[in-house]
Amino acid sequence: MPTDQVTRRHDVVRGLVRALRHLVGAPDYEGYLEHCRRSQHSPRLTEREYVREFFENKGKGVRCC
């Protein structure tokens, strides 16, 4: 299988996993990192810290970074 097809399939699977996590309300650290890249700032949380804060703040309102 050509490399570009493997890459496309990987991107599709990764997108489906992110969508599923969003639907069930699970933390999405990759989404957080993507947000930081788009906002042009470095992430302030490790994955472990992000998940801990996600569950601590769940239902407490909107937060950024």
For residue 28, which of 40, 19, 36, 39 has the smallest C-alpha distance?
19
Whether residue 54 has pLDDT greater than 80: yes
Give pLDDT, residue 31: 86
Task: Give the model confidence (pLDDT) of 27-50 as tens digits.
Answer: 889 889 999 999 999 999 999 999
Give pLDDT, residue 39: 96
Q: Determine the number of helices (DSSP H) and then strands (DSSP E) in the chain.
A: 3, 0
Compare 24 and 51 and report the one with higher pLDDT.
Answer: 51
Q: Yes or no: say if 65 and 35 are a contact pair by the CB < 8 Å rule.
A: yes
- As a whole number of angstroms, the distance between CA 50 and CA 26 comes to 11
Give pLDDT, residue 55: 87
- As a whole number of angstroms, the distance between CA 39 and CA 19 comes to 21
